[in-house]
Structure 1
Amino acid sequence: MDRLTSMAVFVKTADSGSFAAAALAFGISSQMAGKHVSMLEERVGARLLNRTTRRQSLTEIGRIFYERCKALLADAQAAESVAQELSAAPRGRLRITAPVTFGACCLAPMIARYLQAHPEVRVELTLADRFIDLIDEAYEAAIRLGALSDSTLIARPLMPYRLVACASPAYLAERGEPLTPQALTAHECLAFVFTSMPAATEWRFTDDAQREHVVPVSGRFEANDVKALLAAALNGAGIILAPEVAVRDELAAGRLVRLLNGYEAPPRPMHLVFPASRVTPKLRAFIDQVVAEFGPAGT
Protein backbone atom coordinates (compact mmCIF):
# COMPACT_ATOMS: atom_id res chain seq x y z
CA MET A 1 0.00 0.00 0.00
CA ASP A 2 1.12 3.55 -0.71
CA ARG A 3 2.00 5.20 2.59
CA LEU A 4 0.77 8.68 1.61
CA THR A 5 -2.57 7.22 0.54
CA SER A 6 -2.82 5.37 3.83
CA MET A 7 -2.09 8.60 5.72
CA ALA A 8 -4.77 10.40 3.69
CA VAL A 9 -7.31 7.65 4.51
CA PHE A 10 -6.33 7.81 8.17
CA VAL A 11 -6.76 11.61 8.30
CA LYS A 12 -10.13 11.38 6.52
CA THR A 13 -11.27 8.67 8.93
CA ALA A 14 -10.27 10.80 11.92
CA ASP A 15 -12.02 13.84 10.47
CA SER A 16 -15.23 12.02 9.54
CA GLY A 17 -15.29 9.60 12.46
CA SER A 18 -15.87 6.45 10.43
CA PHE A 19 -14.26 4.11 7.93
CA ALA A 20 -17.40 4.25 5.81
CA ALA A 21 -17.18 8.01 5.27
CA ALA A 22 -13.46 7.77 4.47
CA ALA A 23 -14.11 4.89 2.09
CA LEU A 24 -16.79 6.90 0.28
CA ALA A 25 -14.41 9.86 -0.14
CA PHE A 26 -11.69 7.67 -1.69
CA GLY A 27 -13.94 5.33 -3.66
CA ILE A 28 -12.88 2.21 -1.78
CA SER A 29 -14.58 -0.26 0.53
CA SER A 30 -14.83 0.22 4.30
CA GLN A 31 -12.71 -2.87 4.74
CA MET A 32 -9.96 -1.40 2.55
CA ALA A 33 -10.07 1.85 4.53
CA GLY A 34 -9.60 -0.18 7.69
CA LYS A 35 -6.64 -2.01 6.14
CA HIS A 36 -4.94 1.31 5.32
CA VAL A 37 -5.18 2.38 8.95
CA SER A 38 -4.12 -1.04 10.23
CA MET A 39 -1.03 -0.90 8.02
CA LEU A 40 -0.05 2.44 9.57
CA GLU A 41 -0.62 1.10 13.08
CA GLU A 42 1.61 -1.87 12.28
CA ARG A 43 4.35 0.45 10.98
CA VAL A 44 4.32 2.76 14.02
CA GLY A 45 3.73 -0.06 16.51
CA ALA A 46 0.81 1.62 18.25
CA ARG A 47 -2.96 1.92 17.98
CA LEU A 48 -4.01 5.15 16.29
CA LEU A 49 -7.79 4.83 16.47
CA ASN A 50 -10.19 3.67 19.15
CA ARG A 51 -12.67 1.50 17.26
CA THR A 52 -16.33 1.15 18.25
CA THR A 53 -19.30 -0.11 16.29
CA ARG A 54 -20.50 3.44 15.61
CA ARG A 55 -17.49 5.77 15.54
CA GLN A 56 -13.69 5.86 15.35
CA SER A 57 -11.78 8.26 17.64
CA LEU A 58 -8.09 9.12 17.95
CA THR A 59 -5.88 7.67 20.64
CA GLU A 60 -3.34 9.92 22.33
CA ILE A 61 -0.61 8.72 19.97
CA GLY A 62 -3.11 8.92 17.13
CA ARG A 63 -3.68 12.65 17.78
CA ILE A 64 0.03 13.39 17.48
CA PHE A 65 0.34 11.20 14.39
CA TYR A 66 -2.76 12.84 12.89
CA GLU A 67 -1.25 16.34 13.11
CA ARG A 68 2.02 15.21 11.53
CA CYS A 69 0.16 13.40 8.74
CA LYS A 70 -1.90 16.51 7.97
CA ALA A 71 1.26 18.61 7.72
CA LEU A 72 3.00 16.02 5.56
CA LEU A 73 0.02 15.70 3.21
CA ALA A 74 -0.20 19.48 2.91
CA ASP A 75 3.52 19.66 2.02
CA ALA A 76 3.08 16.93 -0.57
CA GLN A 77 0.14 18.78 -2.11
CA ALA A 78 2.13 22.02 -2.16
CA ALA A 79 5.06 20.26 -3.84
CA GLU A 80 2.77 18.86 -6.52
CA SER A 81 1.21 22.27 -7.08
CA VAL A 82 4.59 23.93 -7.48
CA ALA A 83 5.75 21.23 -9.90
CA GLN A 84 2.57 21.59 -11.95
CA GLU A 85 2.94 25.35 -11.98
CA LEU A 86 6.58 25.22 -13.03
CA SER A 87 5.73 22.89 -15.90
CA ALA A 88 2.94 25.19 -17.10
CA ALA A 89 3.39 27.75 -19.86
CA PRO A 90 4.50 31.23 -18.68
CA ARG A 91 1.52 33.58 -18.52
CA GLY A 92 0.24 36.70 -16.76
CA ARG A 93 1.79 40.05 -15.79
CA LEU A 94 5.47 40.24 -14.82
CA ARG A 95 6.63 43.34 -12.90
CA ILE A 96 10.33 44.16 -13.26
CA THR A 97 12.49 47.12 -12.21
CA ALA A 98 15.94 48.11 -13.44
CA PRO A 99 18.37 51.06 -13.50
CA VAL A 100 17.44 53.62 -16.15
CA THR A 101 20.37 53.30 -18.53
CA PHE A 102 20.80 49.52 -18.46
CA GLY A 103 17.05 49.06 -18.62
CA ALA A 104 16.63 51.27 -21.66
CA CYS A 105 19.76 50.19 -23.56
CA CYS A 106 19.87 46.46 -22.80
CA LEU A 107 16.94 45.09 -20.85
CA ALA A 108 14.11 46.55 -22.97
CA PRO A 109 15.41 44.94 -26.21
CA MET A 110 15.79 41.63 -24.35
CA ILE A 111 12.22 41.91 -23.04
CA ALA A 112 10.99 42.31 -26.61
CA ARG A 113 12.60 38.96 -27.44
CA TYR A 114 11.20 37.43 -24.24
CA LEU A 115 7.66 38.56 -25.13
CA GLN A 116 7.99 37.12 -28.60
CA ALA A 117 8.90 33.74 -27.10
CA HIS A 118 6.14 33.88 -24.46
CA PRO A 119 2.98 35.35 -26.02
CA GLU A 120 0.84 34.89 -22.89
CA VAL A 121 3.06 37.13 -20.72
CA ARG A 122 2.90 40.90 -20.44
CA VAL A 123 5.75 42.83 -18.80
CA GLU A 124 5.59 46.01 -16.75
CA LEU A 125 9.10 47.52 -16.61
CA THR A 126 9.89 50.37 -14.22
CA LEU A 127 13.19 52.20 -14.80
CA ALA A 128 14.54 53.98 -11.74
CA ASP A 129 17.97 54.65 -10.25
CA ARG A 130 16.54 54.62 -6.71
CA PHE A 131 16.33 51.51 -4.52
CA ILE A 132 12.99 49.73 -4.96
CA ASP A 133 11.84 47.23 -2.35
CA LEU A 134 10.49 44.26 -4.27
CA ILE A 135 8.22 43.02 -1.49
CA ASP A 136 6.76 46.36 -0.41
CA GLU A 137 6.23 47.59 -3.99
CA ALA A 138 5.12 44.23 -5.43
CA TYR A 139 7.83 43.66 -8.03
CA GLU A 140 8.91 40.16 -9.01
CA ALA A 141 12.52 40.86 -9.95
CA ALA A 142 15.06 43.68 -10.18
CA ILE A 143 18.39 44.43 -11.79
CA ARG A 144 20.63 45.91 -9.08
CA LEU A 145 23.94 47.76 -9.46
CA GLY A 146 26.60 47.86 -6.76
CA ALA A 147 27.22 45.72 -3.70
CA LEU A 148 24.15 43.90 -2.40
CA SER A 149 22.96 44.36 1.16
CA ASP A 150 21.96 41.34 3.19
CA SER A 151 18.44 40.26 2.33
CA THR A 152 16.20 37.27 1.78
CA LEU A 153 16.37 37.76 -2.00
CA ILE A 154 18.05 35.30 -4.33
CA ALA A 155 20.79 37.00 -6.40
CA ARG A 156 22.14 35.85 -9.74
CA PRO A 157 25.39 37.58 -10.81
CA LEU A 158 25.44 39.31 -14.18
CA MET A 159 28.23 40.86 -16.25
CA PRO A 160 29.99 43.80 -14.55
CA TYR A 161 28.64 47.25 -15.36
CA ARG A 162 31.56 49.07 -16.99
CA LEU A 163 32.13 52.81 -17.41
CA VAL A 164 34.27 54.37 -20.15
CA ALA A 165 35.61 57.89 -20.63
CA CYS A 166 35.00 59.33 -24.06
CA ALA A 167 34.51 62.58 -25.97
CA SER A 168 33.62 63.79 -29.47
CA PRO A 169 36.31 64.29 -32.13
CA ALA A 170 35.35 67.98 -32.27
CA TYR A 171 35.99 68.46 -28.52
CA LEU A 172 39.32 66.67 -28.72
CA ALA A 173 40.37 68.72 -31.74
CA GLU A 174 39.75 71.91 -29.76
CA ARG A 175 40.98 70.89 -26.27
CA GLY A 176 43.39 68.01 -26.91
CA GLU A 177 43.19 64.43 -25.71
CA PRO A 178 43.93 63.61 -22.05
CA LEU A 179 46.40 60.72 -21.89
CA THR A 180 46.27 60.14 -18.12
CA PRO A 181 43.51 60.48 -15.53
CA GLN A 182 45.37 63.44 -13.97
CA ALA A 183 45.01 65.35 -17.24
CA LEU A 184 41.21 65.39 -16.76
CA THR A 185 41.60 68.26 -14.30
CA ALA A 186 42.16 70.58 -17.27
CA HIS A 187 39.01 69.45 -19.12
CA GLU A 188 35.25 69.91 -19.07
CA CYS A 189 33.89 66.76 -17.41
CA LEU A 190 30.17 66.07 -17.77
CA ALA A 191 28.75 64.91 -14.44
CA PHE A 192 25.95 62.46 -13.72
CA VAL A 193 23.73 63.51 -10.80
CA PHE A 194 21.78 60.93 -8.83
CA THR A 195 18.41 62.10 -7.52
CA SER A 196 19.41 61.54 -3.90
CA MET A 197 22.97 62.89 -3.96
CA PRO A 198 25.13 65.59 -5.60
CA ALA A 199 27.26 65.01 -8.67
CA ALA A 200 30.54 63.18 -8.15
CA THR A 201 33.54 65.49 -7.87
CA GLU A 202 36.05 62.67 -8.33
CA TRP A 203 36.49 59.99 -10.99
CA ARG A 204 38.38 56.79 -10.18
CA PHE A 205 40.52 54.68 -12.47
CA THR A 206 42.95 51.77 -12.17
CA ASP A 207 45.97 51.29 -14.42
CA ASP A 208 47.40 48.06 -15.85
CA ALA A 209 49.39 47.57 -12.62
CA GLN A 210 46.13 47.86 -10.60
CA ARG A 211 47.18 51.17 -9.06
CA GLU A 212 44.25 53.43 -8.26
CA HIS A 213 44.03 56.99 -9.56
CA VAL A 214 41.50 59.33 -7.94
CA VAL A 215 41.09 62.54 -9.94
CA PRO A 216 39.13 65.68 -9.02
CA VAL A 217 36.91 66.68 -11.95
CA SER A 218 34.70 69.65 -12.72
CA GLY A 219 32.59 70.98 -15.53
CA ARG A 220 29.81 73.38 -16.41
CA PHE A 221 27.14 70.78 -17.24
CA GLU A 222 25.54 68.07 -15.13
CA ALA A 223 22.37 66.03 -15.54
CA ASN A 224 20.49 63.14 -13.94
CA ASP A 225 20.06 61.33 -17.25
CA VAL A 226 22.77 59.61 -19.28
CA LYS A 227 21.01 60.40 -22.56
CA ALA A 228 21.27 64.12 -21.79
CA LEU A 229 24.96 63.83 -20.99
CA LEU A 230 25.52 61.77 -24.12
CA ALA A 231 23.82 64.41 -26.27
CA ALA A 232 26.04 67.08 -24.72
CA ALA A 233 29.18 65.00 -25.32
CA LEU A 234 28.22 64.39 -28.95
CA ASN A 235 27.87 68.14 -29.38
CA GLY A 236 31.36 68.82 -28.04
CA ALA A 237 30.46 69.97 -24.51
CA GLY A 238 33.05 67.83 -22.74
CA ILE A 239 34.20 64.39 -21.61
CA ILE A 240 31.66 61.84 -20.38
CA LEU A 241 32.25 58.88 -18.07
CA ALA A 242 29.38 56.77 -19.28
CA PRO A 243 28.15 53.18 -19.12
CA GLU A 244 29.73 51.24 -21.96
CA VAL A 245 26.32 49.92 -22.99
CA ALA A 246 25.10 53.48 -23.56
CA VAL A 247 27.97 54.63 -25.81
CA ARG A 248 29.07 51.50 -27.68
CA ASP A 249 27.20 52.44 -30.88
CA GLU A 250 28.61 55.97 -30.82
CA LEU A 251 32.12 54.60 -30.29
CA ALA A 252 31.72 52.08 -33.11
CA ALA A 253 30.50 54.82 -35.46
CA GLY A 254 33.33 57.19 -34.53
CA ARG A 255 31.02 59.84 -33.15
CA LEU A 256 32.79 59.42 -29.81
CA VAL A 257 36.41 58.49 -29.09
CA ARG A 258 37.38 56.26 -26.18
CA LEU A 259 39.99 57.89 -23.95
CA LEU A 260 42.62 56.89 -21.41
CA ASN A 261 43.95 53.68 -22.94
CA GLY A 262 45.58 51.62 -20.20
CA TYR A 263 43.20 52.92 -17.54
CA GLU A 264 39.82 51.56 -16.52
CA ALA A 265 37.07 52.90 -14.31
CA PRO A 266 36.25 50.31 -11.62
CA PRO A 267 33.33 48.20 -12.88
CA ARG A 268 30.24 47.93 -10.69
CA PRO A 269 28.82 44.51 -9.84
CA MET A 270 25.38 43.84 -11.28
CA HIS A 271 22.84 41.23 -10.17
CA LEU A 272 19.37 39.99 -10.94
CA VAL A 273 17.50 39.62 -7.65
CA PHE A 274 14.12 38.09 -6.90
CA PRO A 275 12.20 36.80 -3.85
CA ALA A 276 13.01 33.28 -2.78
CA SER A 277 9.44 32.46 -1.75
CA ARG A 278 7.99 31.65 -5.15
CA VAL A 279 9.28 31.44 -8.71
CA THR A 280 6.49 31.25 -11.29
CA PRO A 281 6.94 29.95 -14.86
CA LYS A 282 6.96 33.50 -16.26
CA LEU A 283 9.66 34.57 -13.79
CA ARG A 284 11.71 31.41 -14.29
CA ALA A 285 11.72 31.99 -18.05
CA PHE A 286 12.72 35.62 -17.49
CA ILE A 287 15.54 34.66 -15.12
CA ASP A 288 16.88 32.10 -17.57
CA GLN A 289 16.89 34.59 -20.45
CA VAL A 290 18.52 37.40 -18.43
CA VAL A 291 21.29 35.08 -17.24
CA ALA A 292 21.76 33.67 -20.75
CA GLU A 293 22.12 37.14 -22.30
CA PHE A 294 23.77 39.13 -19.52
CA GLY A 295 25.41 36.56 -17.28
CA PRO A 296 29.15 36.71 -16.58
CA ALA A 297 31.46 35.16 -19.16
CA GLY A 298 31.47 31.41 -19.03
CA THR A 299 27.92 30.96 -17.65
Structure 2
Amino acid sequence: MRRQFDDVVLGSIELFCLAAEEGSFTAAALAAGVTPAAVSRSISRLEERLGTRLFARTTRSIRLTEGGRGYYQQCRQALTQLVEAEREVREKEQEASGTLRISIPTTYGHYRVLPLLPEFRERHPKLQIDIHLSNRNIDFVDEGYDAAIRVRAQPDSTLIARPLEDAALVLVATPEYLRRAGTPQTLDDLAQHECIQFELPSSGRRISWLFNENGQEREILANGNYVCSDDLLGGATLVRHGAGLFQTYRFIFEQDLADGTLVEVLQPFAGRSRPFTLLYPHGRHVPFRLRAFIDFLLEKKRGWG
Protein backbone atom coordinates (compact mmCIF):
# COMPACT_ATOMS: atom_id res chain seq x y z
CA MET A 1 0.00 0.00 0.00
CA ARG A 2 1.42 3.36 -0.98
CA ARG A 3 1.57 6.18 1.54
CA GLN A 4 -1.49 8.41 1.76
CA PHE A 5 -0.06 10.86 4.30
CA ASP A 6 3.47 12.16 4.68
CA ASP A 7 4.88 13.61 7.90
CA VAL A 8 3.97 17.16 6.83
CA VAL A 9 0.30 16.26 6.25
CA LEU A 10 0.04 14.38 9.55
CA GLY A 11 1.60 17.34 11.35
CA SER A 12 -0.83 19.69 9.62
CA ILE A 13 -3.78 17.54 10.76
CA GLU A 14 -2.57 17.72 14.37
CA LEU A 15 -2.22 21.51 14.16
CA PHE A 16 -5.65 21.80 12.53
CA CYS A 17 -7.25 19.85 15.42
CA LEU A 18 -5.37 21.96 17.94
CA ALA A 19 -6.53 25.20 16.28
CA ALA A 20 -10.14 23.94 16.25
CA GLU A 21 -9.95 23.10 19.96
CA GLU A 22 -8.18 26.30 20.98
CA GLY A 23 -10.29 28.54 18.73
CA SER A 24 -7.20 30.49 17.67
CA PHE A 25 -4.13 30.03 15.48
CA THR A 26 -2.06 31.91 18.04
CA ALA A 27 -3.23 29.74 20.95
CA ALA A 28 -2.65 26.59 18.90
CA ALA A 29 0.87 27.79 18.03
CA LEU A 30 1.63 28.44 21.69
CA ALA A 31 0.37 25.00 22.70
CA ALA A 32 2.37 23.29 19.92
CA GLY A 33 5.55 25.33 20.39
CA VAL A 34 5.54 26.71 16.83
CA THR A 35 4.80 30.10 15.29
CA PRO A 36 1.30 31.30 14.35
CA ALA A 37 2.55 31.55 10.77
CA ALA A 38 3.44 27.85 10.82
CA VAL A 39 -0.09 26.99 11.99
CA SER A 40 -1.60 29.20 9.29
CA ARG A 41 0.56 27.56 6.58
CA SER A 42 -0.45 24.11 7.81
CA ILE A 43 -4.16 24.95 7.65
CA SER A 44 -3.75 26.45 4.17
CA ARG A 45 -1.90 23.31 3.06
CA LEU A 46 -4.79 21.12 4.24
CA GLU A 47 -7.41 23.35 2.64
CA GLU A 48 -5.56 23.19 -0.68
CA ARG A 49 -5.28 19.40 -0.39
CA LEU A 50 -9.00 19.03 0.40
CA GLY A 51 -10.22 21.75 -1.97
CA THR A 52 -12.39 23.39 0.69
CA ARG A 53 -12.21 25.96 3.46
CA LEU A 54 -11.88 24.50 6.94
CA PHE A 55 -12.12 27.79 8.87
CA ALA A 56 -14.06 31.00 8.33
CA ARG A 57 -11.56 33.72 9.31
CA THR A 58 -11.95 37.31 10.44
CA THR A 59 -9.27 39.65 11.74
CA ARG A 60 -10.23 38.72 15.31
CA SER A 61 -11.46 35.14 15.27
CA ILE A 62 -11.74 31.84 13.45
CA ARG A 63 -14.57 29.33 13.37
CA LEU A 64 -14.96 25.97 11.70
CA THR A 65 -16.98 25.78 8.53
CA GLU A 66 -19.57 23.03 8.17
CA GLY A 67 -17.06 20.94 6.24
CA GLY A 68 -14.39 21.79 8.79
CA ARG A 69 -16.55 20.51 11.66
CA GLY A 70 -17.07 17.14 10.01
CA TYR A 71 -13.38 16.89 9.11
CA TYR A 72 -12.34 17.81 12.66
CA GLN A 73 -14.57 15.15 14.25
CA GLN A 74 -13.13 12.38 12.11
CA CYS A 75 -9.54 13.61 12.44
CA ARG A 76 -9.85 13.85 16.22
CA GLN A 77 -11.25 10.32 16.38
CA ALA A 78 -8.41 9.02 14.18
CA LEU A 79 -5.74 10.76 16.27
CA THR A 80 -7.28 9.42 19.47
CA GLN A 81 -7.16 5.90 18.02
CA LEU A 82 -3.50 6.35 17.12
CA VAL A 83 -2.70 7.47 20.66
CA GLU A 84 -4.60 4.47 22.06
CA ALA A 85 -2.81 2.09 19.68
CA GLU A 86 0.59 3.41 20.82
CA ARG A 87 -0.44 3.08 24.46
CA GLU A 88 -1.55 -0.52 24.01
CA VAL A 89 1.71 -1.46 22.25
CA ARG A 90 3.79 0.19 24.98
CA GLU A 91 1.81 -1.49 27.73
CA LYS A 92 2.22 -4.94 26.18
CA GLU A 93 5.92 -4.52 26.90
CA GLN A 94 5.23 -3.55 30.50
CA GLU A 95 4.53 -5.68 33.53
CA ALA A 96 1.38 -5.31 35.59
CA SER A 97 2.31 -4.22 39.09
CA GLY A 98 0.79 -2.63 42.15
CA THR A 99 -2.53 -3.66 43.68
CA LEU A 100 -5.59 -4.71 41.71
CA ARG A 101 -8.78 -4.28 43.78
CA ILE A 102 -11.80 -6.21 42.55
CA SER A 103 -15.24 -6.82 44.04
CA ILE A 104 -16.98 -10.09 43.18
CA PRO A 105 -20.19 -11.80 44.39
CA THR A 106 -19.43 -14.82 46.55
CA THR A 107 -20.83 -17.36 44.09
CA TYR A 108 -19.04 -15.99 41.06
CA GLY A 109 -15.87 -15.55 43.05
CA HIS A 110 -15.67 -19.11 44.35
CA TYR A 111 -16.83 -20.89 41.20
CA ARG A 112 -15.60 -18.68 38.37
CA VAL A 113 -12.92 -16.10 39.19
CA LEU A 114 -10.89 -17.29 42.21
CA PRO A 115 -9.85 -20.59 40.57
CA LEU A 116 -8.34 -18.55 37.70
CA LEU A 117 -6.32 -16.06 39.74
CA PRO A 118 -3.23 -18.25 40.31
CA GLU A 119 -2.79 -18.48 36.52
CA PHE A 120 -3.34 -14.72 36.22
CA ARG A 121 -0.69 -14.00 38.85
CA GLU A 122 1.70 -16.43 37.16
CA ARG A 123 1.45 -14.20 34.09
CA HIS A 124 1.84 -11.04 36.21
CA PRO A 125 3.96 -11.97 39.24
CA LYS A 126 4.48 -8.36 40.36
CA LEU A 127 0.77 -7.85 40.87
CA GLN A 128 -1.00 -8.01 44.23
CA ILE A 129 -4.72 -8.85 44.12
CA ASP A 130 -7.14 -7.50 46.73
CA ILE A 131 -10.42 -9.46 46.46
CA HIS A 132 -13.69 -8.26 47.99
CA LEU A 133 -16.17 -11.16 48.13
CA SER A 134 -19.63 -9.77 48.77
CA ASN A 135 -22.99 -9.11 47.16
CA ARG A 136 -22.92 -5.52 48.46
CA ASN A 137 -22.71 -2.73 45.91
CA ILE A 138 -19.44 -0.80 46.16
CA ASP A 139 -18.40 2.77 45.40
CA PHE A 140 -15.53 2.77 42.91
CA VAL A 141 -14.26 6.23 43.81
CA ASP A 142 -14.67 6.27 47.60
CA GLU A 143 -13.51 2.67 48.10
CA GLY A 144 -10.80 2.62 45.45
CA TYR A 145 -11.88 -0.42 43.43
CA ASP A 146 -10.54 -1.08 39.94
CA ALA A 147 -13.36 -3.39 38.83
CA ALA A 148 -16.44 -5.24 40.02
CA ILE A 149 -18.56 -8.12 38.79
CA ARG A 150 -22.28 -7.84 39.36
CA VAL A 151 -25.57 -9.55 38.50
CA ARG A 152 -28.15 -7.46 36.62
CA ALA A 153 -25.89 -4.38 36.53
CA GLN A 154 -27.87 -1.15 36.28
CA PRO A 155 -27.00 1.35 33.50
CA ASP A 156 -24.44 3.89 34.75
CA SER A 157 -22.80 6.43 32.45
CA THR A 158 -19.70 6.56 34.68
CA LEU A 159 -19.00 2.83 34.22
CA ILE A 160 -18.07 0.59 31.30
CA ALA A 161 -19.99 -2.70 31.31
CA ARG A 162 -18.58 -5.84 29.66
CA PRO A 163 -20.94 -8.87 29.58
CA LEU A 164 -19.39 -12.06 30.94
CA GLU A 165 -22.15 -14.67 30.72
CA ASP A 166 -25.82 -15.43 31.12
CA ALA A 167 -25.53 -17.97 33.91
CA ALA A 168 -28.11 -20.76 33.63
CA LEU A 169 -30.32 -21.42 36.67
CA VAL A 170 -31.19 -24.85 38.02
CA LEU A 171 -33.56 -26.13 40.73
CA VAL A 172 -32.07 -28.96 42.79
CA ALA A 173 -32.64 -31.22 45.78
CA THR A 174 -31.03 -34.33 47.26
CA PRO A 175 -32.47 -37.76 46.37
CA GLU A 176 -33.16 -38.26 50.10
CA TYR A 177 -35.27 -35.10 50.30
CA LEU A 178 -37.27 -36.13 47.23
CA ARG A 179 -37.90 -39.61 48.65
CA ARG A 180 -39.11 -37.99 51.86
CA ALA A 181 -41.18 -35.12 50.45
CA GLY A 182 -41.98 -36.29 46.94
CA THR A 183 -40.87 -34.88 43.60
CA PRO A 184 -42.79 -31.83 42.35
CA GLN A 185 -44.24 -32.27 38.87
CA THR A 186 -45.67 -28.79 38.29
CA LEU A 187 -44.75 -25.28 39.41
CA ASP A 188 -47.83 -25.19 41.63
CA ASP A 189 -46.46 -28.21 43.53
CA LEU A 190 -43.71 -25.97 44.96
CA ALA A 191 -46.25 -24.60 47.46
CA GLN A 192 -46.13 -27.98 49.20
CA HIS A 193 -42.32 -28.06 49.51
CA GLU A 194 -39.55 -26.65 51.65
CA CYS A 195 -38.09 -23.95 49.38
CA ILE A 196 -34.81 -22.42 50.57
CA GLN A 197 -34.86 -18.66 50.09
CA PHE A 198 -32.15 -16.06 49.46
CA GLU A 199 -32.65 -12.49 50.65
CA LEU A 200 -30.83 -9.58 49.04
CA PRO A 201 -28.79 -7.74 51.70
CA SER A 202 -29.22 -4.36 49.99
CA SER A 203 -33.03 -4.40 49.92
CA GLY A 204 -34.19 -7.24 52.16
CA ARG A 205 -36.14 -8.56 49.17
CA ARG A 206 -36.33 -12.30 48.58
CA ILE A 207 -35.19 -13.48 45.16
CA SER A 208 -37.91 -14.94 42.95
CA TRP A 209 -37.37 -18.29 41.28
CA LEU A 210 -37.44 -18.13 37.48
CA PHE A 211 -39.04 -20.69 35.14
CA ASN A 212 -40.42 -21.18 31.64
CA GLU A 213 -43.99 -22.44 31.40
CA ASN A 214 -45.84 -23.00 28.12
CA GLY A 215 -43.44 -20.70 26.32
CA GLN A 216 -43.90 -17.91 28.89
CA GLU A 217 -41.51 -16.65 31.54
CA ARG A 218 -42.80 -17.11 35.07
CA GLU A 219 -41.51 -15.87 38.42
CA ILE A 220 -42.43 -17.60 41.66
CA LEU A 221 -41.80 -16.28 45.15
CA ALA A 222 -41.60 -19.67 46.86
CA ASN A 223 -41.97 -20.16 50.60
CA GLY A 224 -39.96 -22.07 53.14
CA ASN A 225 -38.52 -22.08 56.64
CA TYR A 226 -34.91 -21.38 55.59
CA VAL A 227 -33.87 -17.87 54.54
CA CYS A 228 -30.23 -17.00 53.79
CA SER A 229 -29.01 -13.45 53.31
CA ASP A 230 -25.75 -11.93 52.05
CA ASP A 231 -24.12 -15.22 51.01
CA LEU A 232 -25.93 -17.28 48.39
CA LEU A 233 -23.67 -20.24 49.12
CA GLY A 234 -25.53 -20.71 52.41
CA GLY A 235 -28.46 -21.99 50.38
CA ALA A 236 -26.14 -24.31 48.46
CA THR A 237 -24.90 -25.84 51.71
CA LEU A 238 -28.44 -26.29 53.02
CA VAL A 239 -29.69 -28.02 49.87
CA ARG A 240 -26.68 -30.35 49.84
CA HIS A 241 -27.67 -31.48 53.33
CA GLY A 242 -31.26 -32.25 52.41
CA ALA A 243 -32.96 -29.12 53.77
CA GLY A 244 -35.23 -28.68 50.77
CA LEU A 245 -35.28 -27.32 47.21
CA PHE A 246 -33.03 -24.50 46.04
CA GLN A 247 -32.66 -22.61 42.77
CA THR A 248 -29.39 -20.95 41.86
CA TYR A 249 -26.67 -21.03 39.17
CA ARG A 250 -25.99 -24.33 37.46
CA PHE A 251 -22.21 -23.79 37.62
CA ILE A 252 -22.38 -24.16 41.42
CA PHE A 253 -23.92 -27.63 41.20
CA GLU A 254 -22.27 -29.11 38.10
CA GLN A 255 -20.24 -31.64 40.09
CA ASP A 256 -23.13 -32.48 42.44
CA LEU A 257 -25.39 -33.20 39.46
CA ALA A 258 -22.68 -35.22 37.72
CA ASP A 259 -22.09 -37.52 40.70
CA GLY A 260 -25.78 -37.79 41.66
CA THR A 261 -25.62 -36.21 45.11
CA LEU A 262 -28.12 -33.63 43.81
CA VAL A 263 -30.95 -34.08 41.32
CA GLU A 264 -32.39 -31.46 38.95
CA VAL A 265 -36.06 -30.84 39.67
CA LEU A 266 -38.79 -29.51 37.31
CA GLN A 267 -36.42 -29.78 34.33
CA PRO A 268 -39.21 -29.17 31.75
CA PHE A 269 -39.61 -25.68 33.24
CA ALA A 270 -35.91 -24.77 33.16
CA GLY A 271 -34.03 -22.52 30.75
CA ARG A 272 -33.87 -19.21 32.60
CA SER A 273 -30.63 -17.38 33.44
CA ARG A 274 -29.19 -14.25 35.05
CA PRO A 275 -26.46 -12.06 33.50
CA PHE A 276 -23.07 -11.36 35.07
CA THR A 277 -21.28 -8.19 34.01
CA LEU A 278 -17.76 -6.82 34.51
CA LEU A 279 -17.83 -3.14 35.49
CA TYR A 280 -15.02 -0.61 35.65
CA PRO A 281 -14.82 3.20 35.66
CA HIS A 282 -15.15 5.04 32.39
CA GLY A 283 -11.97 6.92 31.52
CA ARG A 284 -9.55 7.61 28.68
CA HIS A 285 -6.74 5.71 30.39
CA VAL A 286 -7.27 2.24 31.82
CA PRO A 287 -4.41 1.22 34.16
CA PHE A 288 -2.36 -1.63 32.75
CA ARG A 289 -3.10 -3.85 35.77
CA LEU A 290 -6.83 -3.50 35.03
CA ARG A 291 -6.42 -3.91 31.26
CA ALA A 292 -4.49 -7.13 31.87
CA PHE A 293 -7.28 -8.45 34.15
CA ILE A 294 -10.03 -7.50 31.68
CA ASP A 295 -8.27 -9.20 28.78
CA PHE A 296 -7.58 -12.30 30.89
CA LEU A 297 -11.19 -12.60 32.09
CA LEU A 298 -12.64 -12.11 28.62
CA GLU A 299 -10.25 -14.76 27.31
CA LYS A 300 -11.35 -17.26 29.96
CA LYS A 301 -15.08 -16.60 29.70
CA ARG A 302 -15.17 -18.33 26.32
CA GLY A 303 -14.96 -21.62 28.20
CA TRP A 304 -18.04 -20.85 30.35
CA GLY A 305 -21.70 -21.28 29.70
**CA-CA distance at 1:42 after TM superposition:** 4.2
Equivalent position of 2:181 in the other structure: 175
Correspondence 1:1-299 to 2 at 5 A:
42-43=41-42, 82-83=87-88, 85-92=90-97, 93-198=99-204, 200=206, 202-207=208-213, 209-224=214-229, 225-264=231-270, 266-277=272-283, 278-295=285-302
**CA-CA distance at 1:127 after TM superposition:** 1.3
TM-score, normalization by structure 1:
0.71
Q: 2:153 touches 2:277 (CA, 8 Å); kept in 1?
A: no
Return closer, same or farther for 1:79/1:41 CA change in 2, 3 Å cut-off. Answer: same
Q: Deviations over 1:176-223 (max 9, x none)?
A: 11122211110001111221333527533113x422334342111111
Q: 1:144 touches 1:270 (CA, 8 Å); kept in 2?
A: yes
CA distance, structure 1, for counterparts of residue 85 and residue 272 of structure 2: 46
Q: Deviations over 1:209-264 (max 9, x none)?
A: 42233434211111122332222212211111122122212111211111111112
- Structure of higher CA gyration radius: 1
Q: Which moved more, 1:210-219 or 1:121-130?
A: 210-219
**CA-CA distance at 1:120 after TM superposition:** 1.9
Equivalent position of 1:28 in the other structure: none
Q: Which moved more, 1:169-178 or 1:218-227?
A: 218-227
Q: 1:146 touches 1:269 (CA, 8 Å); kept in 2?
A: yes
CA distance, structure 2, for counterparts of residue 296 and residue 210 of structure 1: 29
Give RMSD over aligned pairs. 3.7
Structure 2 SS opposite 1:223? strand
CA distance, structure 2, for counterparts of residue 235 and residue 106 of structure 1: 23
Q: 1:179 touches 1:261 (CA, 8 Å); kept in 2?
A: no
CA distance, structure 1, for counterparts of residue 248 and residue 281 of structure 2: 31
CA distance, structure 2, for counterparts of residue 256 and residue 175 of structure 1: 15
Return closer, same or farther for 1:40/1:297 CA change in 2, 3 Å cut-off. Answer: same
Q: 2:196 touches 2:245 (CA, 8 Å); kept in 1?
A: yes
**Matched residues, percent identical?**
30
